[in-house]
Amino acid sequence: MTVTTRAPEGGAAQASGFGNHWRERLEMLLGFGRSSGADLVEVFLERTDQLSVLAEQDTITSVSPAFGVGAGIRVFRGSHDGFVSTNDLTQAGLQAALEQALGMLGLEPIARPGDAFSGLETLRDHALSKADWLQRCPELHEATGRLLDGTARLERHGRHLQVRRGSYSRNWQEVLVAASDGTFARDIRLHQSLGLNVLAADGDHRASLGRRYGTSDRPDDLREWDAEASALDVCQSVGTMLYADYVEAGQMPAVLANRFGGVIFHEACGHLLETTQLERGTTPFAEMVGQPIAHESLTAIDEGLTGGAFGSMSIDDEGMEPQRTVLIENGILRRFLSDRAGEQRTGHPRTGSGRRQSHSFAAASRMRNTFIAAGPHSPEALIASIDRGLYCKSMGGGSVGPTGQFNFAVEEGFLIENGTLTKPVKGATLIGEAKEVMPRISMCANDLELAAGFCGSVSGSIFVTVGQPHVKVDSITVGGR
């Protein structure tokens, strides 16, 4: 159950950053919650500074700054929890939010004597080396200049371009997490992303295509962006697809390229390995730990450790350090991703995967950097093994059902004929179900790469990484004309 309260911002609490000076007031809150009968109380404090810029053709059409501050307070009792968020970080505001959360669980918010809470641990401060990150990021004039340079390069390299867009976003976040089990940790996060999108048209021929690039913890990311290479990549691909024939529908083998090709595994299978799905009863893999759910060639990993990756972090949103979690090993299901509530309700140990969009959401088990591991083959070997099939160079949007049914558009595709890539094709859609497709991924190449993305689920939209090497699917339904 969630209730959100809003109160006027004010006071020194909102004006300053977080740190050890919050210890006393947080210990008072946590102790009050525990003595009122809660099994565990958690406080998540947040400050944000965000900027979004959009360039269309050769004009900046949108600049959207945003600033935020707030707290999310969660109370556990048995297998139930209550969550309240507020923008009022005064002691009175936090106390009021805590009392609302206690009331959701039928707990009378009256402090009682006792020693149920022994205090917070020494602050684990991961933010000390990151204090200047926001100041080091490009200012608005520099960001707009880089974007306009990118859209100008699209014009120079592309043909028949009707629409040219460039987008930039920067998300800076400071968090402090405290819980009555002693957790006390602080961090600063920085995510930056760039996107280029084009629409090409020539008579009856149409093609649209986009690329997005994103990193974390790198203030100079926009300055180091290779706009020339990005523009060439987008323009060459849209030029190829502009005059492509439509693919014929049918059941056929397919090779999915590396990087963003991993979005299918993330969406169709990764979500089914979060304890959130176990709690809902919507995963077909609920009782299959230790059993095969995929081809023996497939190993899948989720972790939050890779430097610069979009889904990496020093702590998750429950204050736990991330770890490397092997989800599937040689086709065998080994582990589910779990947060605090997931561990309590399903028994699966926490994996440092408790994540949320902001203080307005309670944390939930979510993916971080999720990818299929590299295999022994070359990408060429996968293609050479197919007489007739589809090569999916880049994936577009799609949809996924609650138990893993999916359909994803192929943004850039080619026919495979007699083990060779031949003509480009468009209009292809990959259709399937996770539990059926996973056993058909029979070959993994040796060229693993990661790609930045965004994931929406029960705790909001978060930064993630998807990835894989080239993979071969022995048979999949391809929708087309």
pLDDT of 2 higher than 60: no
Interval 430-455 mean pLDDT? 96
What CATH number should be reported for the domain holding residue 233?
A: 3.30.2290.10
Beta strands in 388-457 (DSSP E): 388-400, 405-417, 420-426, 429-433, 441-444, 449-457
pLDDT of 63 higher than 70: yes
φ, ψ at 119 (rounded to 5°): 105, 165
Task: Clarify whether residues 404 and 321 are in a common domain.
Answer: yes
Non-local (6+) Cβ contacts of 328 within 8 A are: 293, 294, 298, 299, 300, 334
For residue 124, which amino acid is it? R
Q: Which residues pair with 441 in a beta bridge?
A: 473
Q: Per residue in 135-157, is it b (16+ CB within 10 Å) or e — as a string?
A: eebbeeeebbebbbebbbbbeeb
pLDDT of 4 higher than 80: no
- Cα–Cα distances (Å) from 140 to 128, 137, 190, in that order, read 25, 9, 16
Task: Clarify whether residues 169 and 315 are in a common domain.
Answer: no
Q: 444, 430, 395: which is closest to 260 by C-alpha?
A: 395
- Cα–Cα distances (Å) from 242 to 415, 429, 479, in that order, read 16, 17, 19
SS3 272: helix
Q: What is the pLDDT of residue 16?
A: 57
Provide the token pair at 159.
């043909």
What is the residue-averaged pLDDT of the chain? 94
User: CA 322 to CA 353: how far, in whole Å?
Assistant: 7
- The pTM for the full model equals 0.93
Q: Per residue in 9-30, is it b (16+ CB within 10 Å) or e — as a string?
A: beeebbeeebeeebeebbbebb
Q: What is the pLDDT of residue 125?
A: 97
User: Could you tell me the strand order of the sheet in which 460-468 lies?
Assistant: 332-333, 324-329, 300-303, 369-372, 460-468, 449-457
- Name the residue range of residue 461's domain: 245-479
SS3 309: coil
Q: 469, 279, 315, 460: which is closest to 382 by C-alpha?
A: 469
pLDDT in tens, 116-162: 788 999 999 999 999 999 999 999 999 999 999 999 999 999 999 99
pLDDT class of 113 with cuts at 50, 70, 90 = low
pLDDT in tens, 254-268: 999 999 999 999 999
Q: Which of 211, 242, 273 is the last residue of a domain?
A: 242
SS3 80: strand
Task: Clarify whether residues 157 and 279 are in a common domain.
Answer: no
Structural domain total, the chain: 2
Neighbour tally for 122: CB within 10 Å: 9
pLDDT of 12 higher than 80: no
φ, ψ at 229 (rounded to 5°): -65, -40
φ, ψ at 294 (rounded to 5°): -145, 170
Q: What is the pLDDT of residue 399?
A: 87
Task: Clarify whether residues 202 and 278 are in a common domain.
Answer: no
Interval 442-448 mean pLDDT? 98
Interval 297-307 mean pLDDT? 97
Task: Clarify whether residues 35 and 167 are in a common domain.
Answer: yes
Task: Clarify whether residues 238 and 255 are in a common domain.
Answer: no
Q: Which of 176, 210, 242 is the last residue of a domain?
A: 242
Q: Per residue in 198-231, is it b (16+ CB within 10 Å) or e — as a string?
A: bbbeeeeeebbbbbbbbbbbbbebbeebebeebb
Q: What is the pLDDT of residue 481?
A: 79
φ, ψ at 423 (rounded to 5°): -85, 150
pLDDT of 188 higher than 60: yes
pLDDT class of 459 with cuts at 50, 70, 90 = very high
- Cα–Cα distances (Å) from 409 to 73, 326, 429, 443, 480, in that order, read 40, 28, 4, 22, 10
Task: Clarify whether residues 156 and 184 are in a common domain.
Answer: yes
Q: Per residue in 332-359, is it b (16+ CB within 10 Å) or e — as a string?
A: bbebbbbbbbbbbbbebebbbbbbbbbb
Non-local (6+) Cβ contacts of 62 within 8 A are: 52, 53, 54
Q: What is the pLDDT of residue 30?
A: 96
Neighbour tally for 476: CB within 10 Å: 21
Task: Clarify whether residues 279 and 423 are in a common domain.
Answer: yes
User: CA 287 to CA 220: how far, in whole Å?
Assistant: 46
Q: Which of 216, 242, 268 is the last residue of a domain?
A: 242
Q: What is the pLDDT of residue 402?
A: 87
Q: What is the pLDDT of residue 14?
A: 36
When computed from its CA atoms, the radius of gyration of the chain, rounded to whole angstroms, is 24
pLDDT of 8 higher than 70: no
Task: Clarify whether residues 181 and 201 are in a common domain.
Answer: yes
Task: Clarify whether residues 277 and 207 are in a common domain.
Answer: no
pLDDT in tens, 334-382: 999 999 999 999 999 999 999 999 999 999 999 999 999 999 999 999 9
Task: Clarify whether residues 161 and 49 are in a common domain.
Answer: yes
H or E stretch at 263: helix 263-268
For residue 218, which amino acid is it? R
- Residues of the chain with pLDDT > 70: what percent? 96
- In eight-state DSSP terms, residue 377 is B
pLDDT class of 115 with cuts at 50, 70, 90 = low
* End-to-end C-alpha distance for the chain, whole angstroms: 46
Yes or no: say if 302 and 323 are a contact pair by the CB < 8 Å rule: no
Task: Clarify whether residues 43 and 167 are in a common domain.
Answer: yes
